[in-house]
Amino acid sequence: MDGRKRMVELVGVCETTLWTLYHRALAAGDPGSALLDPKAIEVVDAIGYPFEGRFGTGSWGLAQGMAVRARCYDREVRRFLRDHPEGTVVSLGEGLETQFWRVDNGRVRWLGVDLPEVAALRQRLLPDVARHRTLSCSATDERWMDEVDASRGVLIIAQGMLMYLPLDAVRQLVAGCAARFPGAELIFDTPPAWMAARTVRGRWRYPAGYRPPPMLWGMTAALRQKLGAVHPGIAGVRAVRVPRGRGLLCGWVLPLASVLPVARARKPLWVTCVSFGLTEHQQVESADDGSVGRRAGARSPVGAAGVTPGTGR
């Protein structure tokens, strides 16, 4: 950064990228936090925007909650890269996420996809670098799929965005990924259904007064199970364990809500992994090159034809 403040004006769903960036930077600036994200702090310092007046001080566990989500995604990307060091990570709705710098192994290929106004802002603040590029495109526009090199394995992530799309559009997106990227995985997070309903009614407000845009749907156990029937290429759908944070909310309440049956439906963060199975032809190829045995020990398939899958999300 050159020390100049970049003035920013985003509204609606696009503004949520500033909310997440700000809270991630607050968490990274806390000496007691487990999140290391100096790039987020750098970007916040470079933006001329009333963060605190608009979003508050990160109290009530908001900053630590964002740190927990970031660490969850970082853990899963690192797992993918351990088995696919030159694989491709596709970040749908990437916004001003700085994850690439947190997990970069020096070999990963990274494609960020976002709406034109957000992609333009990202190019001003976080211009493309070697092995990371940003595509100005809606996540629901399958043109981004043509830009993905699937030869070394693919992992698709969607942080904090799918709840703003109609559920039918999400199902179509999942089906499209299953058809185009057999052997890959899609990881995404959503709020619970009860929280999404409150945003639609305008009843969800953060301490400083900020109201998030309507979240059109939220996750339930039944809905997660039904995702498996969206496309015949889906091999499995599972919950992703969220790491433990610090403080009362993220250190105790959130972990307990994830394991206690009476509280599970009320937990504020649902992270889901959808695995796309290999086609019959790819399975035959894998048997021919002797990779079937290697696949047998994997938790879920990640990659493309002829690529040994990793542990997945």
For the stretch 126-153, pLDDT in tens is: 999 999 999 999 999 999 999 999 999 9
pTM for the model: 0.86
Q: What are the tens digits of pLDDT across the range 85-94?
A: 999 999 999 9
The pLDDT of residue 4: 80
**Under 8 Å between Cβ of 57 and 23:** no
CA dist., res. 21 & res. 95, Å (int): 9
Residues 6+ away with beta carbon under 8 Å from 258: 241, 242, 264, 267
Query: Which one has a higher pLDDT value, 188 or 283?
Result: 188
Q: Which of 86-95, 218-227, 260-269, 295-304 has the lowest mean pLDDT?
A: 295-304
